[in-house]
Amino acid sequence: MDSALASDRVHTTHSGVYLRGTVRTAAKLLVVGHFGVGKTTFVGALSEIRPLRTEETMTQAGAHVDDLAGLDGKTTTTVAMDFGRLTLSDSLVLYLFGAPGQQRFTRLWLDMTQGALGALVLADTRRLDHSFEVMELLEDHGLPYAVAVNHFDDAPVFPEEEIREALDLLPDTPLVTCDARDRISATRALITLVDHLHARTAQEPV
Amino acid sequence: MTPAVPRRDKGLVRPYVVTEGRSHPTRNTFDLVTLVMAHGDRPLDGLSPEKYRLMELCLGGALSVAEIAGYLQLPVSVTKVLLSDLVDSGHLSTRAPIPSAQLPEAQILQEVLDGLRARL
């Protein structure tokens, strides 16, 4: 390739940028939660590529539902999505998309949810009530989910039953604790989610 | 927390110029995880700068729509319009995400589960 621009830049940042030629299937899971809960950290701990970000300008259609307090007169805002990739076998690749929940009416959110197998909701015990919005959003979309409490060092630890009650979780919704910075811990949280999704497909006649 | 990412120069070219005024792609077959492959035998002469950059990126190997948007730092909606044109002109072809007619969801989930467990 001569005078390559984009591909050169990519190659210098990471040699394993491109997918294996044998990959045939791409699966999609969402990592959601409120601002600052650790979504980007979680995706970054698992991704084999440098996590990527795309941005979209959100116009008036969804602007009034967003929290734009203190931003009087602002009619557009930028929404962003971070994502990463895990090659799981010669033929299968998994993409993780992380985004906050207040992007519900944007095209980017629709793009993210379409075809997603399910979602992992990250929660913070210091702000459990902040998780309701995104959980409601997933329920509206009919997307199954599991909840992972991302443990912050200075956050209070509660018994599982109390967290379940505070989040008003259904009995079969899995709840785990994880450290979003740790690859193994984050992998375990994802396994809990996928286990749950798999059990559901076994129960429901498709 | 998401750090303030230093933005590359956004440039003077507005998205609707890149897409020649269009907000919708000519075909509606792109998901974020649709896999895109370039055909190396097509001439790149005459392509717009953005399509040229996109082709240069894709000639290196297969990538998803989301990754292409991320590397080129273009909005997904704009990327889809460009991709769509390049499929129409024979420069690119796509592989649909999760060919559901071929693979049931339960089988994909099982493969995802196996793949994740193998990483522990």
> What is the spatial order of strands in the sheet that B35-38 belongs to?
B63-64, B35-38, B92-95
Q: Hey, is the C-beta of B77 within 8 angstroms of any chain A C-beta? A: yes
Q: Which chain A residues are within 8 Å of B66, Cβ to Cβ?
A: 52, 54, 83, 95, 97
Q: Which chain B residues are within 8 Å of A49, Cβ to Cβ?
A: 67
Specify the higher pLDDT residue, A200 or A79. A200
- Identify the CATH number of the domain defined by range A21-203: 3.40.50.300
- What is the ipTM, given to two decimal places? 0.84
Closest chain A residue to the Cα of B5, Cα to Cα: A53
Pair A105, A65: CB distance under 8 Å: yes
**Digit-coded pLDDT (tens) for B12-37:** 567 777 787 777 787 767 889 999 99
Q: How far is B38 from chain A (nearest CA, A)?
A: 12
Q: Output the pTM of the full model.
A: 0.84
Q: Which chain B residues are within 8 Å of A89, Cβ to Cβ?
A: 111, 114-115
Q: How far is A167 from chain B (nearest CA, A)?
A: 22
Nearest-CB residue to B35 (from A26, A36, A201): A26
**A/B interface, count of CB pairs below 8 Å:** 166
Q: Which two tokens stand for residue A39?
A: 């979504």
Q: Looking at chain B from residue 12 to 41, which residues have their Cβ under 8 Å from any Cβ of chain A?
A: 15, 31-35
The pLDDT of residue A103 is: 60
Q: Hey, is the C-beta of B67 within 8 angstroms of any chain A C-beta? A: yes
CA distances from B99 to A27, A76, A102, A182 (A): 10, 36, 30, 32
Q: Domain ranges for chain A, please list them.
A: 21-203
Nearest-10 crossing angle of helices B65-72, B76-88: 110
**Digit-coded pLDDT (tens) for A123-153:** 999 999 999 989 998 998 889 999 999 999 9
Q: Domain ranges for chain B, please list them.
A: 15-117
